[in-house]
Structure 1
Amino acid sequence: MVREDDCATRWGNDGLMVLSTPAMLGLMEQTCVEVLAPVLAAGEMTVGVGVTLTHAAVAGCGEPVAYRVALTVVGRDVDVDFTVVGPTGTVLGHGSHRRRVVDRAAFLRRLPPPTG
């Protein structure tokens, strides 16, 4: 469902109450994380390392959208082909996303300490 926070107006396009490209990308990444979580070993997580995205059509605030994904595993990488569809089956967007399986503790140790 396209929420008000997902709309382009939040990103500076005043009055444009349609699914924004940043929200489409973020929801796609969230979908990938959720789909991959059950198949990861204890202590593993995935991180995004690449993406291509075409935003092809609009969906208005309140409209349902669905993400369809197909996964291909290549070593520690997972290539995700995705399609975003509206309620009538209209393709709203499509692309590919690469995620890498990493050791959570080792990855978090490499991050700089938070500031502020």
Structure 2
Amino acid sequence: MEIKLNAGIKHKEEKIVAMSDTARVFGSGAAEVFATPMMIGLMEGAAMNAVKGYLPEGFSTVGTSVNVRHLSATAVGKKVWAEAELVEVDRKRLVFKVDAYDEDKKIGEGTHERFIIDEAKFMGNLK
């Protein structure tokens, strides 16, 4: 099945930083600030949801590469969001520009790669 996606598709995901989102709770650091793995997850979610409405039933995407920098700390209680823009399509390979912000500043930037999968075939390969 041929899936047509074009560069330029964008999506934004947002949340309020909770204590469960902190580096201390996540185990990635000692500070009670928004954890890098949580920021990456928000970026991946934005990328995944950017294209999900363009895929046929039974297809989705999986993350395969993340190259980001966490630029600045964010306190618990602050709103954060990630923006993803599809910048490259190579058959089933999708590359996104991802950026993250809090209420005051840019907190992260980078790229994220995903691949389009047939969910049944993908899960069948795991057995």
Backbone CA RMSD of aligned residues: 1.3
**Residue number among 77, 83, 90 corresponding to 1:74 in the alignment:** 90
**Is 1:40 equivalent to 2:73 in the alignment?**
no
Q: How many residues were matched structurally?
A: 110
Give me the whole-angstrom Cα distance separating, in 2, the residues matched to 1:7 and 1:81: 24
Amino acid at match of 1:4: M
Give me the whole-angstrom Cα distance separating, in 1, the residues matched to 2:28 and 2:101: 24
Gaps of 5+ in 1: none
Amino acid at match of 1:75: R
Structure (1 or 2) with the greater helix fraction? 1
- Report Cα offsets for 1:33-62 as digits up to 9, x if no partner: 222211111111101111101001011111
**Residue number among 77, 94, 102 corresponding to 1:62 in the alignment:** 77
Using the size of structure 1 for normalisation, the TM-score is 0.88
Give me the whole-angstrom Cα distance separating, in 1, the residues matched to 2:120 and 2:28: 37
* 2:76 aligned counterpart, secondary structure: coil
Q: Aligned residue for 1:24? A: 39
- Report Cα offsets for 1:62-103 as digits up to 9, x if no partner: 100111111022211110111101112x11011100000011
Give me the whole-angstrom Cα distance separating, in 2, the residues matched to 1:82 and 1:12: 21
Gaps of 5+ in 2: 1-15
Amino acid at match of 2:100: V
Using the size of structure 2 for normalisation, the TM-score is 0.80
**Residue number among 79, 100, 108 corresponding to 1:84 in the alignment:** 100
